[in-house]
Amino acid sequence: MIHVSKYQIFTLMTVFQLGSTIIFGFAADAGRNAWISTLISSVLGMCIVLLYWSIFHLSGGLSLVEWCPALLGKWIGIPLAWLFPLVFLYDSARIVSDIRFLFPITILHGTPNWLIAITFLLVILYVLFSGYEVLARMSGFFFPLILLSLLLEIVLLFFSGRIHLPNLLPVLGEGWGKVWQTVWPSGLMQTYGESIEFAMFWGFVAQKKQLPFTVAGACILSGLCITLLDVLAITGMGEHVFQQMMYPSFALLKLSNVVDLLENLDAIGVSYLTLTAFTKLTLHLFAAVYCIRKLLAAAGDKAIILTSVVVAFFVSMTMVVSFNGHLEVATTVLPQRLWLPLFLYLPAVLFLMACVKQKRRSAQHD
């Protein structure tokens, strides 16, 4: 039986929600008001994640792929449940694509992107075979280092004199239109909607009494970190540069210059991107493997692990041919056509059905 602590699930959720988001300009289409979009997304996203927790609680601790069969019946529920591991595998492939696009243009110039993807996946394959508890312990260890890296970035930018707070003004100068467009649906689904896969992992926590507070705290902390990075990017580079840069966080680190001694600290960005992307990708694959094992009622998961990693690799190498196309799919196609139906509409229906069943049980006992 797998056992993880509340601290470990807290760090896993926080790092998962940071993911590759801390490198890309979150809600960049909102311009100087991106930080407002991020704050709103984090609050509403927390509510969505607590919706997932409510279904988990009302169903008596059933895992994600058991919700649909239990509440909708096997004929409808099992085909719907199979959609979750397939989406998790696809999301895994998207992160592999992020890595193979990002690393060759930042630190590994000229390195074949397929080699970067294979190397990254081989390390993840080792963790998958080692087990979920190993990843949880790794996350608990590296989590303070990620926070320290972010804190160091803030301090260096502050002493570099690159922060210009007037770049945030005027606040909501163009109204709420662009803000809400970045919140719904991509701002909610990209980071918080994907957290539905933790419904496969909450059962590993022995003491579940205060787990909702842990879940909410992870959403708040990740939201604050992303908001802070948006504020730094906007105040450091200005609205127009922030919107146009592919990787504003890397460009921001290049601005750091303290007495001509500490400058161009790209390694900091690469470090926390590698840690967060590694954790999120591994969690996607763990969720896919556990879902498939549960649906197939398989005794072991080694074959499922190998198959999942191979599928993630080949899908990542064939899904897009350009990074612009990769981003367009992530911001327009996925949120509307895939994530909203599976991560919001379906859970909302399941929540209502779980509430109805709970009331029926209470009435029968009375």
Q: HSE on the CB side for 199, CA within 13 Å?
A: 34
Of 237, 240, 278, the closest CA to residue 254 belongs to 237
User: Does 254 score more than 70 pLDDT?
Assistant: no
pLDDT band at 347 (very low <50, low <70, confident <90, very high): very high
pLDDT band at 262 (very low <50, low <70, confident <90, very high): low
For the chain, the structural domain boundaries read 6-91+131-282+324-365
Of 219, 182, 238, 224, the closest CA to residue 28 belongs to 182
Give residue-wise pLDDT tens across range 54-99. Answer: 999 999 899 999 999 999 999 999 999 999 999 999 999 988 888 8
pTM: 0.92
Locate tokens 């590994």: which residue? 108
Give residue-wise pLDDT tens across range 93-132. Answer: 988 888 887 777 766 777 788 888 899 899 999 999 999 9
Tell me the percentage of the chain whose pLDDT exceeds 70: 89
Give residue-wise pLDDT tens across range 304-334. Answer: 999 999 999 999 888 766 666 666 676 677 7
Give residue-wise pLDDT tens across range 206-229. Answer: 888 889 999 999 999 999 988 888
- Mean pLDDT over 341-356 rounds to 93
Cβ pair 101, 326 in contact under 8 A: yes
